[in-house]
Amino acid sequence: MNRREFLKYSAAAAGLAAAAPLLGSSEAFASARRVSSSTSASLSLLLDHTSLEVSRFQHAVNLFEKANPGITVSVENIADAAAFYTKINTEGVGHTLPDVWYVRTFDVAYDALKGWTEPLNSYIAKTPGFDVNDFFPALRSQMAYGGKIYTLPWNLSDMVIFINKTLFQKAGVAIPSPDWTWDDFASTASALKAKLSSHQYAGDVNNLLADGYWVLEGVIAGNGGALLSPDFKQATTSAPANVDLLNFFVSLHTKGYMPTPGTYPAGVDPFVAGLEAMAANGSWVIATYPAEIAKSFEWELLPLPKGSTGKRGTGVAGGGFGVASTSRNKEAAFMLADWLTNTSSLNYVVSDYLDSLPSRQSSMPTFLKTAANVKYAPGGMANVVEETKTALPIAYPPYVIPLDTALTNRIPPIFTGSTVTKQMSALAGDIDTMIKEYYP
């Protein structure tokens, strides 16, 4: 699953969310912090979501208009990600962007560097009760670029380890503690391999290597490394900490604990099929797995193992709402973005056990309450919450799209004959080219 698609909702996720109890009602929906009867504006809002989400956003918008009689909001949704980004790039160049639109954290630096998004610090400062620290710590580094805030986060996702409890029980292997390390992962995989069938794998971490910079940089940071300098203007791919960790993952493959990247055809989830005892995957599939796995086997969730620094190498990614720098109604546009991302909105729109976690810590209790009522829900949701709280502050460079392409080209060969050192050196050359383009 590529980085542009991981936040998109599958039909199964939408169906599961629809079956879950709806959180709150119009009457329970709290008012925005700022309600202005004197503000008059016509705003445009652009989404990139499923029909289920759009209906909930529309509900929030209706309440916003009711609380602000002088403001009207026209809502447009483009569910296809490619078409959505074509519109953003075209209208960004043409200075005709909508007043408010869905800005993924991948895009914050790029949009800010292009001058498409409005810095929000001054608006936040004038908003009583606005608590930036309520956003999960890792997101706070992603909502800003160059020291200025450019988007208000709405959701986030991270990577976790999915455990097939049934396979563990059959193998007679104890499920590790949530306080585990990568060495614990390897020893557990070794014990499992001796007991599993020849077509089953002990621990598949390919998604940590194949889902792009947002995941890999987090895992590497947990080992004390980094692919880029903090200002994004230098490649640090060949640092010993990077090479050591990638060689560790190669060793998992060499010992037969994990499959080669690309082993399974598109559309086949080996964990759901019962082919893997441990599998790294995104938090977004937690919503789809209960229906897909059902009674096939018991499963639970563990956080990513800790790296050599003693920290988990967890990065997060998500999305939020930005205000166009060309908007004629910036004050009203910020009010709308604020409304869509406050705690009450998140409780209503996000926390209905969808496959994204709410961006605000104050909304997580409601999310967990709803998740607990889902049939065949996994154990270990508290591990996901704890991991999210301690996720590392990984921000994204403006050239993250070409960087992801480079990673897609450079990482797989380390499992098919090339060396980590060679591929990291080649990756540094790729990044140097990007840096020259974005920071001439």
Three state DSSP letters for 345-407: HHHHHCCCCCCCEECEHHHHHHHHHHHCCCCCCCECHHHHHHHHHCCCCCCCCCCHHHHHHHH
Q: What is the DSSP string of 288-344?
A: THHHHHTTS--EEEEPPPB-TTSSB---EEEEEEEEBTT-S-HHHHHHHHHHHHSHH
Which residues on adjacent β-strands are paired with residue 161?
Answer: 280, 302
- Structure token pair of residue 291: 């229906």
Q: Is residue 142 within 8 Å of residue 317, measured between CB atoms?
A: yes
Q: Is residue 313 within 8 Å of residue 219, measured between CB atoms?
A: yes
Residue 287: pLDDT band (50, 70, 90) is confident
Name the residue among 17, 24, 34 with its Cα closest to residue 335. Answer: 34
Pick the residue with more confidence: 36 or 177? 177
Look at residue 38 in the predicted model and tell me its pLDDT.
64
What does the CA dihedral 91, 95, 97, 103 come to, rounded to 10 degrees? 90
Is residue 5 scored above 90 in pLDDT? no
Is residue 10 scored above 90 in pLDDT? no
Domains of the chain: 11-157+318-387 (3.40.190.10), 158-315+393-438 (3.40.190.10)
Look at residue 266 in the predicted model and tell me its pLDDT.
84
Look at residue 73 in the predicted model and tell me its pLDDT.
98
Q: Is residue 389 within 8 Å of residue 364, measured between CB atoms?
A: no
Name the residue among 106, 191, 210, 202 with its Cα closest to residue 156. Answer: 106
Is residue 27 scored above 60 in pLDDT? no
pLDDT in tens, 296-313: 999 999 999 999 999 999
The CA distances from residue 67 to 47, 124, 247, 259, 334, in Å, are 21, 19, 57, 54, 15
Residues 45-80: b if buried by 16+ CB within 10 A, e if exposed = bbbbbbebbbebbbbbbebbeebbeebebebebbee
Q: What phi and psi values does residue 280 have, to the nearest 5 degrees?
A: -85, 130
Is residue 357 scored above 50 in pLDDT? yes
pLDDT in tens, 268-284: 999 999 999 999 999 99
How many whole angstroms separate alpha carbon 86 and alpha carbon 98? 14
Is residue 4 scored above 60 in pLDDT? no
Look at residue 11 in the predicted model and tell me its pLDDT.
30
